[in-house]
A and B are shown apart, each in its own frame.
Chain A
Amino acid sequence: GESVGLHLPTLSVQEGDNSIINCAYSNSASDYFIWYKQESGKGPQFIIDIRSNMDKRQGQRVTVLLNKTVKHLSLQIAATQPGDSAVYFCAEKETSYDKVIFGPGTSLSVIP
């Protein structure tokens, strides 16, 4: 059926500060998680991923933390820049299936 129209949660941070974007996932069988960034009018772009046998993974200015106990994922962006302003989505996948399901997203707004 049709879902109720819920607008994206918004996070506003000052330029140079660190950002933390959270995501709760629902499927306890999911074993692979990905973060995507979507800029206005464009398709989502891959940022970083993590497998369920890890708790933490670091990239360039980004860190993903996974807490399987409470089914929670977070994306930390260090020294946030205006170019980081976008909508961020987490996604989950089970090994047995090729289905990739996205979370609702968070809009990040960086204040210069």
Chain B
Amino acid sequence: NAGVTQTPKFQVLKTGQSMTLQCAQDMNHNSMYWYRQDPGMGLRLIYYSASEGTTDKGEVPNGYNVSRLNKREFSLRLESAAPSQTSVYFCASKEQSRRRGNTIYFGEGSWLTVV
């Protein structure tokens, strides 16, 4: 049981390049999320997916697209990377149960630098 796995862990992009961050969870969770965390700051929600086939904007969606490919996978795409998108990106999935509530499990993060 690997939990939430995201790739790549580190990436350097040139301005204008595109790339996709991959995320997969093996916990059979319905909800998945992408957050970004700038140095010394909190987590900001980019997009989330409440279930397979649905996606919704979060606090800072501009410049990003997402795909909920299936229940396990939720990818984040930067079509034309900008230096302002230099950040650490966290994927997460959420368990929902009467007993355990709404616990979110995070991946280890993807460090993205746009030069």
CA distance A19 to B109 in the complex (A): 28
Total interface residues on B, using CB and 8 Å? Answer: 29
Question: Could you tell me if A44 and B31 are in contact, using CB atoms closer than 8 angstroms?
Answer: no
Within 8 A of B (CB), among A17-64: 32, 34, 36, 41-46, 49, 51
Main secondary structure of the interface of B (DSSP, over half): strand
Partner of A46, one of B90, B103, B107: B103
Question: Could you tell me if B42 and A105 are in contact, using CB atoms closer than 8 angstroms?
Answer: yes
Chain A CB within 8 A of B45 CB: yes
User: Which residue on A lies nearest to B4, using beta carbons?
Assistant: A43
B→A interface (CB under 8 Å): 4, 31, 33, 35, 38, 40-45, 48, 50, 56, 58-59, 84, 90, 92, 94, 101-109
Question: Could you tell me if B106 and A8 are in contact, using CB atoms closer than 8 angstroms?
Answer: no
Total interface residues on A, using CB and 8 Å? Answer: 29
CA distance A3 to B36 in the complex (A): 13
Partner of A98, one of B31, B41, B44, B90: B31
Chain B CB within 8 A of A79 CB: no
* CB-based closest 9 A-B pairs: A43-B106, A98-B50, A102-B43, A104-B42, A105-B42, A7-B40, A98-B31, A46-B103, A44-B106
